[in-house]
Amino acid sequence: MLHASQTPKRCEISTEQIRLVCELTADRWQHTFSVSTGGKWVDVLSSLEGSPEDESPASPVFQELLLDEKNAQLTEVQMFGRSGKCLYAVAVGMNTETKILDFDVSARFVGAEMPKRVTSSYAGGDWAVAETSPPVATEAQSGLQLAILDVPGMPPCEAHWFPTTGLKIGYGDLSGVPTTTGGTTIRWQYQVSWAALS
């Protein structure tokens, strides 16, 4: 069964096995994945958030949140934000039928100037990344699986796990992405499956 709740500073969607919590921290929303182990929630991944002073944020900046309960099997969290000359958006769907959390992230850069990289960064877990195309990652303790999806018109997205700095999903090098003076949109998609928890 899918549960959803929202307050001004917290949003939660969960099943009996997995939970996604979004919490307002300073000026932005941070999200955390947790799995149910022995009757309690254990955090597996938490998004790494920067500060308003950061020239290049560790993760997309989300300052607005909308909870959309579509049906009994699917609930979506939409988040939006801005940092510097970039507009960010993400749709996160939790589907109990497929047992997948689906992330669709975009970054719209105004003007021709682009940062060196744009990634979704997470702390936590012990991830093994298979350097396939697109890459797939598995978390050692929980069994959660993360898959990168191909996005039409975009170069292959990357996923890397570092013991000291965590999991990075997105584009570590934007030098090959064509830009326009009117603005450039970068998009990446990934899924987290909890089917192995059954």
> pLDDT grade, residue 198 (50/70/90)?
low
pLDDT at 40 over 90: yes
pLDDT in tens, 94-136: 999 999 999 999 999 987 678 888 999 999 999 999 978 888 9
What pLDDT is attached to residue 50? 78
Residue 73 CA to residue 6 CA, distance in Å, equals 18
Residue 23 CA to residue 153 CA, distance in Å, equals 33
Domains of the chain: 3-197 (2.70.98.10)
The DSSP code for 39 is T
Distance of CA 93 to the CA centre of its chain: 11
Closest to 191 in 3D by CA, of 147, 132, 153: 147
Residue 20 CA to residue 30 CA, distance in Å, equals 10
Which amino acid is present at 20? Answer: L
What is the reported pTM?
Answer: 0.93
